[in-house]
Every structure is written in C-alpha cells, then in structure tokens.
C-alpha cells in the first residue's frame, strides 16, 4: 500500500515537471547584425539670419513728451510754456506727423521715421512759418499739404528719400532745403510762382542736365544762393537769375562754360566749381572777369594755366590741377610799371591764392608778388 502511494506521488511529480519544462520558452537565435552602411556626410546648417526689421513695427517705440499745460499739445511732442508758438516733435521715433495745433508757427519733426506726409495733420496749421522734417524717410508728400500752410517761409526736408521736388510748394517760401535726397526730377513750373525764394539747396541728389528744363530757375527773381553740388550735371545750369550771389556746382561732371555765361550777373560774389572736368579748352579766357566776384573755387579740375580774373577777386583756389607755371605779368590786370599799382584803390585785391597739388615749386615768381601786393597767403 505504501509502495503504491509512493509510486503515485512520483508519477504526479514527473508530470508536473514535464509541464513546466514544456512551458519554458526556447531561446531564440540572435539576429544577424545589419550590414554596415556608409554614414551620410553631415554639414551643419548655417545659423539662421536675423530677420529684417518690419517697418514700422520693429522701430523703437515712440517717445512721449512731458505733460503739457496746453490741452492741444500732442502726447508725443513737447510744447514749451515759454514758447507757445513752437512744437517740438523731433527725435521721438515718430512714424507719422501728429495733429498740429493752430497756434503753432514753428514745427520741428527732424530725426524720426516718417515715410509719408499727409494733409490731415495740417488741417488747422494755417499759421505755420517754419517746418523742419530733415532726416526722416519721407518718400511722398501729399499735394494738399501745402494748401493748408500758405504762409510757410522755411521748409527743410534734407536727408530723406524724395525722388522729385514736391508739387505745389507755397509761393511765399524763402528757403527750401532738399539736399541729400534721391531727386532726379524737377516738375515743370515747380518754382514758377516762388518770387520770394532766396535759398534753394539741391545738393547731393541725382539731377542731370535733362532733369532741369531751360526755365526751371528763371522765375526765382530774388534767389541769392543756388546749391547744385554733388549731382551729375555736365553743363552749366541755364537761365540762372542774374541777381544771384552764390552759385555752388562742386562735384559734378561739368567740362565747359559758355563764353558769356556770367554776363549780366549783378551780384555774383561766390562761385564754386571744385571737382569737375574743366580744362583750358572748356574755360574761355575771360569768363571769370566779373567785377563783383570775390571768391572763386576751381580746385580738382584739369586746368594747365591760371584763368584771367577781375582785380576785385579776393580768393582764388586752383589747387590740384595741372598748372606748370604761373606768370604774374600775364595775370596782372595792369602793367607792372603802371601808376595804378601805386594807387591803393586800384591795386588788385587778391588776398589768398592756393596752388598746391599742381606741377609748381617754390619760390613764388617776383612778378606775382609785385602785382598782387594785398596777398596775405599763397600756398604753392
């Protein structure tokens, strides 16, 4: 009996062990390693570029002015209590022109980010006399702006992005400054009604001979100074008012002056033609023999001889040309033995003569000293 029980127990144990053995997972064969592949060459991506500023949202925020005692003072401007006719909106990071109070005579808007000038801010600004919009980004001026300010006398718009002279400028303007723009067009009749304009500054633009008609400046009866330096002119501008006193034409491409160009000028005192293409061929012998001329600049040209000039001339700049000799006997308006050279009133008035940068060497010829006895300085 005990033997049977022992056999039965042994049989049960064997069956249990077999079941456990059958349930154990068989070990899988290890997978074959993948075939080696060439590693792709890796180039680091370039660093992302800084995004360009999106105008005007990425400009510095507008700067608000201090609290004002004037209820009509724009928040972004300063209205000085001691100067109620002035409105200071300069250096405020402005994108647009604020509403101008009717009491304002002097408006300062320079050094901002204004790109367009519209008429609405000027609706009540009928008393404006002086406007400074220099150093902005102005590309466009609404034609109706100047209808609102008929009494404007001074307009400063230099260092902007204008491509042409604005239309319908106030007829009473006395000064117009448009230098350092991109002006390549002057509309016909742009200055036709401006009889009071004394100063017209157009230097550092892109004006060529074809951009200025024959009568562009003809009606500027009271013009004193015309500045056309730093443009691309090849000819002397036509029909300059004969009452002009200062004519600046530096850094153009002018190579010829008409023989009678300065005839009839009654007040011409300063002429600047530095950095042009003038040679002896393009400068008629006596073209600068103008009795009112005091200061003549002909530096950085291609002259090989000293042009004749009037005894009244006081300053002559001829530096950096190709002059090889200077003859006082030829230049002197009188004979060196003339009694005129002993008369103080008749003696040539030349005080300053600059000749450096030519093919000359000291000493200064004696006949030059004998003739021009008022000379205080000569650079050779």
Lowest mean pLDDT of 11-20, 100-109, 137-146, name the range. Answer: 11-20
CA distance 332 to 370: 9
Q: Which two tokens stand for residue 50?
A: 């800084």
Is the pTM here over 0.85, yes or no?
no
342 or 283, higher pLDDT: 283
SS3 10: helix
**Is the Cβ–Cβ distance between 337 and 360 less than 8 Å?**
no
Q: What is the pLDDT of residue 12?
A: 45
Q: What is the mean pLDDT of the chain?
A: 88
Give me the residues paired with residue 156 across strands: 132, 177
Q: State the average pLDDT over residues 65-69.
A: 89
Compute the distance between CA of residue 106 and CA of residue 86 in angstroms, rounded to an integer.
5
Cβ within 8 Å of residue 68, ≥6 positions away: 78, 79
Looking at mean pLDDT, say which of 49-63, 120-134, 340-354 comes out highest: 120-134
d(CA 349, CA 333): 11
Residue 26 CA to its chain's centroid (Å): 89
- The confidence band for 32, taking pLDDT boundaries of 50, 70 and 90, is low
Nearest to 101 by CA among 115, 117, 84, 116: 84
Identify the three-state secondary structure at position 12: helix
The pLDDT assigned to 10 comes to: 53
Give the list of residues 6+ apart from residue 305 with CB closer than 8 angstroms, or none: 280, 323, 325
What mean pLDDT is predicted for residues 25-45? 57
Could you tell me which residue, 16 or 89, shows the higher pLDDT?
89
Tell me whether strands 154-156 and 130-132 are parallel, antiparallel or unpaired: parallel
Instruction: Give the range among 16-20, 53-57, 250-254, 275-279 with minimum mean pLDDT.
Output: 16-20
What pLDDT score does 21 carry? 44
Which two three-digit tokens encode residue 344?
């103080």
> Locate tokens 């390549």: which residue?
184
pLDDT tens per residue, range 298-339: 999 999 999 999 999 999 999 999 999 998 888 888 776 666
191's CB contacts (< 8 A; 6+ apart) are 169, 197, 200, 216, 217, 219, 220
Distance, C-alpha 163 to centroid of its chain: 12
Token pair belonging to 175:
């000064």
What is residue 188's predicted lDDT score, i.e. its pLDDT?
87
* Res 54: pLDDT: 57
Write the CA distances from 138 to 8, 96, 156, 168, integer angstroms. Answer: 111, 10, 12, 17
Residues 6 or more apart in contact with residue 324 via CB below 8 angstroms:
304, 358, 359, 360
Q: In this structure, how many other beta carbons lie within 10 angstroms of the beta carbon of residue 96? A: 17
- Condensed to tens digits (0 to 9), the pLDDT of residues 337-364 reads 666 667 777 789 999 999 999 999 888 8
Q: Is the pLDDT of residue 240 over 70?
A: yes
Residue that wins the pLDDT comparison between 120 and 333: 120
């Amino acid at each position: 009996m005990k033997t049977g029980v022992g056999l039965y127990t042994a049989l049960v144990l064997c069956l249990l062990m077999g079941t456990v053995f059958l349930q154990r997972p068989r070990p899988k064969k290890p997978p074959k390693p993948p075939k080696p592949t060439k590693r792709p060459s890796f180039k680091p991506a370039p660093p992302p570029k800084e995004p360009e500023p999106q105008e005007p949202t990425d400009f510095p925020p507008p700067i608000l002015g201090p609290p004002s005692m004037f209820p009509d003072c724009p928040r972004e401007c300063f209205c000085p209590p001691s100067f109620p006719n002035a409105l200071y909106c300069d250096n405020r990071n402005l994108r647009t022109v604020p509403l101008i109070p009717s009491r304002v005579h002097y408006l300062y808007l320079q050094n901002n980010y204004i790109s367009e000038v519209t008429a609405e801010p000027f609706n009540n600004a009928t008393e404006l006399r002086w406007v400074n919009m220099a150093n902005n980004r102005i590309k466009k001026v609404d034609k109706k702006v100047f209808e609102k300010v008929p009494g404007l006398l001074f307009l400063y718009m230099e260092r902007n992005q204008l491509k042409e002279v604005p239309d319908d400028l106030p007829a009473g303007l006395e000064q117009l400054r448009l230098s350092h723009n991109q002006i390549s067009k002057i509309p016909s009749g742009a200055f036709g009604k401006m009889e009071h304009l004394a100063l017209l500054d157009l230097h550092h633009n892109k004006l060529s001979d074809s951009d200025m008609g024959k009568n562009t400046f003809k009606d500027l009866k009271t013009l004193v100074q015309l500045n056309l330096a730093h443009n691309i002119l090849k000819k002397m501008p036509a029909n300059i008012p004969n009452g002009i006193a200062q004519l600046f034409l530096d850094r153009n491409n002018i190579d010829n002056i008409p023989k009678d160009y300065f005839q009839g000028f009654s007040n011409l005192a300063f002429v600047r033609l530095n950095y042009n293409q003038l040679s002896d061929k393009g400068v008629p012998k006596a073209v600068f023999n103008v009795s009112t001329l005091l200061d003549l600049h002909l530096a950085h040209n291609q002259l090989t001889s000293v042009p004749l000039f009037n005894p009244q001339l006081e300053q002559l700049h001829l530096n950096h040309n190709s002059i090889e000799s200077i003859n006082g006997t030829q230049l002197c308006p009188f004979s060196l033995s003339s009694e005129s050279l002993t008369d103080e009133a008749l003696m040539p008035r030349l005080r300053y003569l600059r000749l450096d940068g030519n093919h000359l060497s000291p000493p200064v010829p004696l006949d030059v000293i004998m003739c021009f006895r008022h000379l205080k300085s000569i650079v050779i």
